[in-house]
Amino acid sequence: MEKFSYTEENEKEFERILAKYPNSDAMMLPGLWLVQEQEGWVSPDAMLFMADRLGKTPIEVHSFASFYTMFNLKPIGTYHIELCKTLSCMIMGAPELKKFVKDTLGIGPGETSADGKFHFSEVECQGACGGAPMIALNHTYHENLTVDKLDKIIKECK
Protein backbone atom coordinates (compact mmCIF):
# COMPACT_ATOMS: atom_id res chain seq x y z
CA MET A 1 0.00 0.00 0.00
CA GLU A 2 1.35 3.39 -1.00
CA LYS A 3 1.72 6.06 1.63
CA PHE A 4 -0.73 8.89 1.37
CA SER A 5 0.35 12.18 -0.15
CA TYR A 6 -1.49 15.05 -1.71
CA THR A 7 -1.79 15.30 -5.45
CA GLU A 8 0.34 18.07 -6.92
CA GLU A 9 -2.76 20.26 -7.19
CA ASN A 10 -3.81 19.64 -3.57
CA GLU A 11 -0.25 20.24 -2.35
CA LYS A 12 -0.34 23.67 -3.99
CA GLU A 13 -3.76 24.34 -2.44
CA PHE A 14 -2.47 23.26 0.99
CA GLU A 15 0.46 25.68 0.71
CA ARG A 16 -1.84 28.48 -0.51
CA ILE A 17 -4.20 28.03 2.45
CA LEU A 18 -1.33 27.58 4.94
CA ALA A 19 0.01 31.02 4.01
CA LYS A 20 -3.27 32.57 5.23
CA TYR A 21 -2.96 31.30 8.79
CA PRO A 22 -0.66 32.49 11.60
CA ASN A 23 0.19 28.91 12.59
CA SER A 24 -0.34 25.35 11.46
CA ASP A 25 -2.96 24.60 14.14
CA ALA A 26 -5.57 26.32 12.00
CA MET A 27 -4.73 24.05 9.06
CA MET A 28 -6.15 20.88 10.57
CA LEU A 29 -9.67 21.37 9.20
CA PRO A 30 -8.73 22.51 5.68
CA GLY A 31 -5.90 19.96 5.51
CA LEU A 32 -8.18 17.06 6.36
CA TRP A 33 -10.84 18.42 4.03
CA LEU A 34 -8.33 18.31 1.17
CA VAL A 35 -7.52 14.71 2.10
CA GLN A 36 -11.17 13.73 2.02
CA GLU A 37 -11.82 15.56 -1.26
CA GLN A 38 -8.92 13.67 -2.78
CA GLU A 39 -9.59 10.19 -1.37
CA GLY A 40 -13.25 10.20 -0.33
CA TRP A 41 -12.30 9.45 3.27
CA VAL A 42 -9.58 10.09 5.86
CA SER A 43 -7.48 6.95 6.17
CA PRO A 44 -5.11 6.19 9.04
CA ASP A 45 -2.22 6.72 6.62
CA ALA A 46 -3.60 10.15 5.69
CA MET A 47 -3.83 11.01 9.40
CA LEU A 48 -0.14 10.13 9.79
CA PHE A 49 0.59 12.35 6.79
CA MET A 50 -1.31 15.26 8.37
CA ALA A 51 0.37 14.75 11.73
CA ASP A 52 3.76 14.97 10.06
CA ARG A 53 2.80 18.01 7.96
CA LEU A 54 1.37 19.94 10.90
CA GLY A 55 3.78 18.86 13.63
CA LYS A 56 1.05 17.08 15.57
CA THR A 57 0.80 13.64 17.08
CA PRO A 58 -1.27 11.08 15.20
CA ILE A 59 -3.76 10.93 18.09
CA GLU A 60 -4.31 14.70 17.86
CA VAL A 61 -5.22 14.34 14.19
CA HIS A 62 -7.44 11.33 14.89
CA SER A 63 -9.19 13.14 17.75
CA PHE A 64 -9.93 16.06 15.46
CA ALA A 65 -11.08 13.94 12.51
CA SER A 66 -13.28 11.73 14.69
CA PHE A 67 -14.90 14.72 16.43
CA TYR A 68 -16.26 16.24 13.22
CA THR A 69 -18.99 14.17 11.60
CA MET A 70 -18.16 15.61 8.17
CA PHE A 71 -15.06 13.44 8.00
CA ASN A 72 -15.43 9.85 6.85
CA LEU A 73 -13.09 7.53 8.74
CA LYS A 74 -13.83 4.60 6.45
CA PRO A 75 -14.49 4.35 2.73
CA ILE A 76 -18.01 5.29 1.73
CA GLY A 77 -20.13 4.92 -1.39
CA THR A 78 -19.77 6.97 -4.55
CA TYR A 79 -22.96 8.83 -3.70
CA HIS A 80 -23.23 10.17 -0.16
CA ILE A 81 -26.81 10.88 0.88
CA GLU A 82 -26.90 13.13 3.97
CA LEU A 83 -30.41 13.44 5.37
CA CYS A 84 -31.06 16.28 7.78
CA LYS A 85 -32.45 14.96 11.05
CA THR A 86 -33.27 18.19 12.85
CA LEU A 87 -36.72 19.45 13.77
CA SER A 88 -37.81 21.26 10.60
CA CYS A 89 -36.88 18.34 8.36
CA MET A 90 -38.36 15.79 10.76
CA ILE A 91 -41.69 17.62 10.85
CA MET A 92 -41.72 18.05 7.07
CA GLY A 93 -41.05 14.41 6.15
CA ALA A 94 -37.50 13.26 6.88
CA PRO A 95 -38.72 10.03 8.55
CA GLU A 96 -40.49 9.02 5.34
CA LEU A 97 -37.34 9.75 3.32
CA LYS A 98 -35.25 7.69 5.75
CA LYS A 99 -37.67 4.76 5.39
CA PHE A 100 -37.56 5.11 1.61
CA VAL A 101 -33.75 4.93 1.59
CA LYS A 102 -33.88 1.83 3.79
CA ASP A 103 -36.53 0.16 1.64
CA THR A 104 -34.99 1.15 -1.69
CA LEU A 105 -31.25 0.85 -1.07
CA GLY A 106 -31.31 -1.52 1.89
CA ILE A 107 -29.16 0.75 4.04
CA GLY A 108 -29.65 2.66 7.24
CA PRO A 109 -27.67 5.54 8.71
CA GLY A 110 -23.93 4.91 8.63
CA GLU A 111 -24.20 2.12 6.06
CA THR A 112 -22.99 1.69 2.50
CA SER A 113 -24.94 -0.25 -0.11
CA ALA A 114 -23.63 -3.68 -1.09
CA ASP A 115 -22.66 -2.40 -4.55
CA GLY A 116 -20.63 0.43 -2.99
CA LYS A 117 -22.63 3.10 -4.79
CA PHE A 118 -24.53 4.72 -1.92
CA HIS A 119 -23.70 5.72 1.63
CA PHE A 120 -26.40 7.07 3.92
CA SER A 121 -25.91 9.44 6.83
CA GLU A 122 -28.22 11.34 9.11
CA VAL A 123 -26.74 14.75 9.88
CA GLU A 124 -27.52 17.77 11.97
CA CYS A 125 -28.99 20.92 10.45
CA GLN A 126 -27.52 21.92 7.11
CA GLY A 127 -29.12 25.35 7.20
CA ALA A 128 -31.92 24.71 4.73
CA CYS A 129 -34.87 24.73 7.12
CA GLY A 130 -36.96 26.79 4.73
CA GLY A 131 -36.65 23.98 2.18
CA ALA A 132 -37.30 21.09 4.52
CA PRO A 133 -37.01 18.19 4.21
CA MET A 134 -33.68 18.10 2.47
CA ILE A 135 -30.67 16.00 1.66
CA ALA A 136 -27.20 16.83 0.51
CA LEU A 137 -26.02 14.45 -2.20
CA ASN A 138 -22.26 14.77 -2.61
CA HIS A 139 -22.53 18.31 -1.19
CA THR A 140 -25.37 19.40 -3.49
CA TYR A 141 -28.55 20.37 -1.68
CA HIS A 142 -31.91 18.97 -2.70
CA GLU A 143 -34.71 20.71 -0.86
CA ASN A 144 -38.48 20.35 -0.51
CA LEU A 145 -38.09 16.62 -1.03
CA THR A 146 -40.80 14.07 -1.37
CA VAL A 147 -40.35 10.33 -1.73
CA ASP A 148 -41.03 10.70 -5.46
CA LYS A 149 -38.35 13.39 -5.86
CA LEU A 150 -35.84 11.32 -3.88
CA ASP A 151 -36.67 8.26 -5.96
CA LYS A 152 -35.88 10.23 -9.13
CA ILE A 153 -32.57 11.48 -7.67
CA ILE A 154 -31.52 7.95 -6.71
CA LYS A 155 -32.48 6.55 -10.12
CA GLU A 156 -30.38 9.26 -11.81
CA CYS A 157 -27.38 8.13 -9.74
CA LYS A 158 -27.79 4.48 -10.74
- The domain tally of the chain equals 2
- Chain segment 115-132, per-residue pLDDT in tens: 999 999 999 899 999 999
Residue 2 above 80 pLDDT? Answer: no
Q: Are residues 130 and 151 in the same domain?
A: yes
Q: How far is CA 153 from CA 40, 81, 145, 146, in A?
A: 21, 10, 10, 11
Give the span between the Cα atoms of 54 and 93, in whole angstroms: 43
Q: Are residues 140 and 88 in the same domain?
A: yes
Residue 150 above 90 pLDDT? Answer: yes
- In the prediction, which pLDDT does 88 show? 94
Instruction: Name the amino acid, one letter, at 15.
Output: E
Enclosing domain of residue 134: 79-157
Q: Are residues 85 and 21 in the same domain?
A: no
- In the prediction, which pLDDT does 23 show? 81
Would residue 2 count as lying in a domain? no
Mean pLDDT throughout 90-119? 96
Q: How many C-beta atoms surround the C-beta of residue 23 within 10 A?
A: 9
